[in-house]
Chain A
């Protein structure tokens, strides 16, 4: 798994590549928390090069969404979610908790 953070004027984009499982999810959680610690609550998670995500990754996203949405200060949105991962998110009932965008820049434009 590899994470890159790009700052935009109105949001941060966290691009997570590779595979997120119980071994690597803590790094994703850390990236999301560190954005929040820096006062950033509007976050695009770019999944265009994500190959795999288990429920450990879903939990990191859920925790971040809770923290970001508190006091209406922002939200986490998902961009370019690969089909297999979208199906698993749907099965877990997570698609209702996150806005999703086909294109990362479209997601950035949302903020």
Chain B
């Protein structure tokens, strides 16, 4: 696994997507899967920056990514407020325009685009989000 630390700011999302995109591409994922892996990672990182580090300017986001056989693993570690994506209600995708909820969409996409999404708050106050996807 390769690991990089980023300041938890939206301006680094480009680099975050590039980092996982490179590993997914050289791991042999299709263009479509590379895009979707980048999208899921962006959504995960955006949620951490927006929610875990809400009102915290100097948060750190540690991103690890690597291939193991046909599986890519992406791990995001933060030290902000715990925020379990699996507890966020899924958006109602059938709701009409006026009732469509704006939140929860990023988490929904993460779960749809990746095979597995795990979230684990640790006793040392870190939160570990792990996502995996297998090559088809």
A positions within 8 Å CB-CB of B: 19, 21-23, 52, 54-56, 58-59, 62-63, 65-66, 69, 84, 87-88, 91-93, 97
Contacts and interface: CB of A to CB of B under 8 A. Distances in A.
| SS of B interface (majority) | helix
Contacts, number: 66
10 contacts: A21-B13, A22-B42, A52-B38, A54-B13, A54-B43, A54-B106, A55-B106, A59-B105, A88-B39, A97-B100
A66 B97 contact: yes
Given A22-B50, A55-B43, A62-B102, A97 B97 contact: yes
Contact of A69 (B93, B97, B112): B97
Given A58-B105, A97-B97, 16 more contacts: A19-B14, A21-B14, A21-B42, A23-B10, A52-B35, A54-B39, A55-B106, A59-B105, A62-B102, A63-B102, A66-B98, A84-B32, A88-B36, A88-B109, A91-B112, A93-B94
